[in-house]
Structure 1
Amino acid sequence: MALSILRRSPHTVNIPSRYLAQSCSGGARVPKTYFHTTPSRELIKPYLLADIGEGITECRVVQWFVKPGDRVSQFDPICEVQSDKASVEITSRYDGVIASIHHEADEMAEVGKPLLDIDIEDDSSSPSQAPTKSTAEEIVSDDMSTATASVAANTNMPNNLSNTNPELEAKNSGLIVPAVRSMLKQHKIDIKDIAGSGKGRRVTKEDVQRHLRSRNLALKPLSSKPAAWPGAPLEDEVVSLTPIETQMFKVMTRALSIPHFGYSHSVDVTSLISLCRNFNKQPGVSSEIHGDGVSKLTALPFVMKAISQAFLRHPRLNAHLNTETSPQNPQLIVKASHNFGIAVDTPNGLLVPVVKDIQNRSILSIAEEIKRLSTLAKEGSLTPLDMSGATFTVSNIGSIGGSVVHPILVSPTVGIVAVGKVEEVPVFSQHNKDVDPSIVKREKAVLSWSADHRVLDGASVARCAQLVARVLENIESIGIGLR
């Protein structure tokens, strides 16, 4: 009788296979033809990680904003990914339901490969063709009750199909966030050993961290020897590289194939520093003329503008070396725009945003753009556009300290300069050859250049560097040549 009821039901009844197996083992067999499926009106579509910047092939998944079963609409945030250059929030391009997630938090995802799968609703189905939500729920509920009663009658099972522990079911459900699942897997912890404090006794990251602290305290022997310095490790530890450090490792490894030519020279920046100090004492004068935006002027915008002026005479230093098209016949692409990457020290590592079109910018415009990019870099909010298109690199290592450094080239650019710390030095001054020279105080900074010696010879680099020095030492002349 029960089987005939199931046979007459026009709707799909999903019964766990373990109960069907038990009913069959009890003597009564349920023919497979009595259970059928209806055509799905949903389309499972893989959501690919799009290209988020030139040269980026993989990203680290920082966090997920969704979980399997969540319904999303277009432009809803799905996850946050971190490349070696910037943090990007990925949004949905579809309306649908999250079917599955392919990566845990902190895992690396490849560009062009699926991040997750989305069930996209079939727009061809009309409301008249499908039952309403309440009607469908009533039909499925009635059929499931009938099917449950029939299986239980043949197996002497209780009508309640769920005989699991509610606490363990909540812990082991799919509602565990990816970050918690990743921590459990990394530290080889059984979720049953942790008491969840979240909603529905769900295990949270704080619960896992609390469990780790208690476990380490129990296993770690007491030591009376204090650390040499607050925060210094007491024992060896293995530390994984961050995405920025991983990319730096790859880029610097490739840089080993470039023969570097180094050139350093000392530049007298006394008049330049004096100009900056006078400007900073009277910022209101500049605001009246140029508007707000720059509250403090440094020497870096002047150095970048002087280099841009020198590149008008020595354009081959502002170029890309193309070896990919034909390794046996490389090409030097001389760039018309002067787009200078600036090295910014951030809590997450060294980032190099790009100030574009310096040849068409004023000193104040360059200073404003440096301020904007530096702020975004320290906040971790740079976009791929802010990081792309560099034709030359300027590193202001003097802001930390140090005079002479050996900057490393990053392909495909062919030149880089590092600006050292401005220092007061004694200099012999002789205005009249018939008078003994006097000693005066001057302010100087060392500029350290590196160039790709495969396409640039030392004389070309030295001439360009000396032209930059002459412009900076006669800073009042820079305004004459500005466009």
Structure 2
Amino acid sequence: MFLNQSSRVVRQQWRLSSRRLSSLSQQHRARGPTLRTPLSPPFAPPARLFHASRSLYAVKPVLLADIGEGIVECEIIQWFVEPGARVEEFSPLCEVQSDKASVEITSRFAGVVKKLHYEAGEMAKVGKPFVDIDIQGDAKEADLQALAPAEPVTPTEPTTKIENQVAAQLPKQPPPAPPSEHKPAPWSNGVYEHTSPKPQPGEKVILATPAVRYLAKELNVDLLQVQGTGKEGRILKEDVYKFVEQKNAPPAPTPSPFTPSSSTTPTSQQQQETPMLLTRTQEMMFKTMTRSLSIPHFLYADEVDFTSLVELRSRLNKVLAKQPLSLDSATHPVAKLSYLPFIIKAVSMALYKYPILNSRVDIDPATSKPSLVLRSQHNIGIAMDTPHGLLVPVIKNVGSLNILQIAAELTRLQSLATEGKLSVGDMSGGTITVSNIGNIGGTYLSPVVVEKEVAILGIGRMRTVPAFGENDRVVKKEICNFSWSADHRVVDGATMARAAEVVRGIVEGPDVMVMHLR
């Protein structure tokens, strides 16, 4: 009985105390900053008495996406933004260079750039943050509550004992900072402007790709002093290297005012060595060939008679000379056929009979057992000599293309390779490679099998030779050497010889391609 009465008294006192605290809270709302929660009893933990309004912001780390082909890191070539810049969704952030090609990375969010994790020239890891973006205003309140910290606010001057106790435990608000002169941000209309200033009259315009500008920065070269030899005066990497070589060359000896006698012993010049950094393309080739040379190769060479193919190509080019043909607006018009489209088609036709040459070797990491992975599409890589070095773009699904379509794709890839604009998709997915060194020179070669492939064809220079024909008459023939390299772990010499014989038969009798048009 006594306990019940005591409990009722305690509850009544608690209700009176709560009403008074609620009244004090209303007074503070009228006189001072907004309170997020009502005042607690004096014996409650003081840390929960007051809360400030939460700031609505969320810094989102953007991860460098996986761009395929097992690439684990990319080099930052240049940034298009800087901290404080406003970016929109799908607007460019930076340009990166992988082992395959240069790629432009775009933003997945709209917001303000807070931090760049890498400088230009550094290697960024795939799957790791490379830029932080504040997505303020574009995130929902529920998504931001976990990231929004609480800021204390200072209430107005207390008037009661309870308020004095509460206010004594609150941090004092710092005095407002004096107004400073507003500096314009490096962006306008909310979008960061990363455009170069327009050249003034009489100012020299530098035409160079980002890769060339980065190389010049690495070699400490002023591009204004470099004479470009590319199209419309564009500066190429070769121009930068030539400038460095000339700059580091020893000065020419000044002529002596007297003629030395024959008894004067000439002084021997000391050997000079000039270190030179590898270009990005050379670094790619270094890594790829280092991995490829772990594959045991064997070489198979054969002579192929191009006489019939020369006649067929001549007839087709007469037709194309009247009107360049293009199957649709998406392909490049073909004005003249080379021999390479016919060879590429012949290789594809041979792969249907010998699919092992279109496979790759896989090693199970758990059991270390090897296996062969057969691939249905014939994605044939074409080694190209470009101003930027050796590049190997890929013609996809050759089995479904005819000669004209193959020639149009070759034209497109060659144009992009010359301009340094090949994408990752253009450079990836190859299943077998064809290297045409004959257009430069050389009769024989020993090509190196590319990683994730088991065979490669090298084409030598075509030459005119005398040969015995019918009735032992001497006739003129056009001969070309084909040099095959194969992965001897899975391909034996007999299989390679039979496949090479199929290719030779198609090239020497090109009319058979008509029966395999798709």
TM-score greater than 0.5 by the shorter chain: yes
How many residues are treated as equivalent by the alignment? Answer: 370
User: Which residue does 1:454 correspond to in 2?
Assistant: 489
- Quick check: 1:58 aligned with 2:73? yes
Question: What corresponds to 1:393 in structure 2?
Answer: 433
Offset, 1:302: 0.6
Q: Deviations over 1:162-217 (max 9, x none)?
A: xxxxxxxxxxxxx9x9x9xx99x9799xxxxxxxxxxxxxxxxxxxxxxxx9xxx9
The residue aligned with 1:253 is: 290
Q: Equivalences for 1:49-448 in 2 at 5 Å? A: 49-122=64-137, 123-124=139-140, 143-145=176-178, 223-225=251-253, 236-284=273-321, 287=324, 293-325=333-365, 328-429=368-469, 431-432=470-471, 437-448=472-483
Superposed CA RMSD in Å reads: 3.7
Query: Contact conserved, 1:60 with 1:243, CA < 8 A, in 2?
Result: no
Confirm or deny: 8 A CA contact 1:84 1:245 kept in the other structure: no
Change (3 A) 1:273 1:143: same
Alpha-carbon contact 2:323-2:335 (below 8 Å) kept: no
How far the C-alpha of 1:272 sits from its partner, in A, is 0.8
How far did residue 320 of structure 1 move?
1.2
Taking only the aligned residue pairs, the percentage that are identical comes to 46
Q: Secondary structure at the match of 1:480?
A: helix
Query: How far off is 1:239 after superposition?
Result: 2.5
Is the 8 Å Cα contact of residues 76 and 96 (structure 2) preserved in structure 1?
A: yes
Q: Secondary structure, in 3 states, of the residue corresponding to 1:441?
A: strand
The residue number in structure 2 matching 1:474 is 509
The TM-score with structure 2 as length reference comes to 0.64
Q: State the Cα deviation string for residues 379-416 of structure 1 (Å, max 9, x = none).
A: 22222222222111111111221111111111211111
CA spacing shift, 1:357–1:99, aligned 2, 3 Å: same
Go from structure 1 to structure 2 and tell me whether the alpha carbon gap of 1:388 and 1:284 turns closer, same or farther (over 3 Å shift). Answer: same
Give the AA of the match of 1:440.
V
Cα pair 1:49 1:113 within 8 Å, conserved: yes
| Correspondence list, 1:17-36, <5 A | none
Given that residues 325 and 334 in structure 2 are in contact (C-alpha distance below 8 angstroms), is that contact kept between their aligned partners in structure 1? Answer: no
| Separation in 2, partners of 1:221, 1:419 | 38
Inter-partner Cα distance in structure 2 for 1:124 and 1:340: 48
The one-letter code sitting in structure 2 at the alignment partner of 1:257 is: S
CA 1:141–1:222: 2 relative to 1, 3 Å:
farther
- Deviation of the 1:374 alpha carbon: 1.6
Q: Distance in 2 between matches of 1:440 and 1:225?
A: 59
Letter in 1 for 2:505: R
Report the CA distance between 1:56 and its aligned residue.
1.7
Contact (CA 8 Å) 1:354, 1:389: kept in 2 or not? yes
* Residue 56 (structure 2) pairs with residue 41 (structure 1): yes
Q: Which amino acid aligns with 2:482?
A: L
**In the alignment, is the contact (CA less than 8 A) between 1:59 and 1:243 conserved in 2?**
no
Q: Which runs of 5 or more structure 2 residues have no equivalent in the other structure?
A: 1-30, 35-50, 143-172, 182-193, 197-210, 221-242, 255-270
**Residue 474 of structure 2 aligns to which amino acid in structure 1?**
I
Q: Distance in 1 between matches of 2:393 and 2:449?
A: 16
1:255, CA displacement in angstroms? Answer: 1.5
- Distance in 2 (CA, whole Å) between partners of 1:448 and 1:252 is 18
**Equivalent residue number for residue 136 of structure 1:** none
Give the Cα–Cα distance (whole angstroms) in 1 for the partners of residues 274 and 126 of structure 2: 31
Cα shift readout 1:88-107 (whole Å, capped 9, x = no counterpart): 11111111111111111122
Contact map agreement 1:41 1:121 (CA 8 A) in 2: yes
Distance (whole Å) between structure 2 residues aligned to residue 453 and residue 447 of structure 1? 18
Structure 1 residues 44 and 288: CA distance shift in structure 2, 3 A:
closer
Q: Secondary structure at the match of 2:438?
A: helix
Comparing both chains, which one has the higher relative contact order based on Cα–Cα distances under 8 Å and sequence gaps of 6 or more? 1
Q: CA deviation at 1:225?
A: 4.0
Secondary structure of 1:145's counterpart equals coil
**Residues 457 and 485 of structure 2 are in contact (CA less than 8 Å); yes or no, is this contact kept in structure 1?**
yes
Give yes or no for contact 1:269–1:472 (8 Å, CA) kept in 2: yes
For the pair shown, the structure with the greater C-alpha radius of gyration is 2
Distance 1:105 1:225, change over 3 A: farther
Closer, same or farther in 2 for the Cα pair 1:222/1:269, shift >3 Å? closer
Q: TM-score, normalised by structure 1?
A: 0.69
* Alpha-carbon distance change, 281 to 9 in structure 1, aligned in 2, over 3 angstroms: farther
Q: Give the residue type in structure 2 aligned to 1:108.
A: M
Q: Secondary structure at the match of 1:399?
A: coil
Partners of 1:257 and 1:221 in 2: CA distance: 39
Residues in 2 aligned to 1:257 and 1:322: alpha-carbon distance in whole angstroms:
14
Secondary structure of the corresponding residue to residue 486 of structure 2:
strand
**Code of the aligned partner of 1:442:** K
SS in 2 for 1:81: strand
Q: Tell me the CA shift for residue 478 of structure 1.
A: 2.1
- Partner Cα separation in structure 2 for residue 472 and residue 10 of structure 1: 88
C-alpha displacement of 1:57: 1.7
Whole-angstrom distance in 2 between the partners of 1:396 and 1:386: 18
Contact 2:293 2:448 in 1 (8 A): no
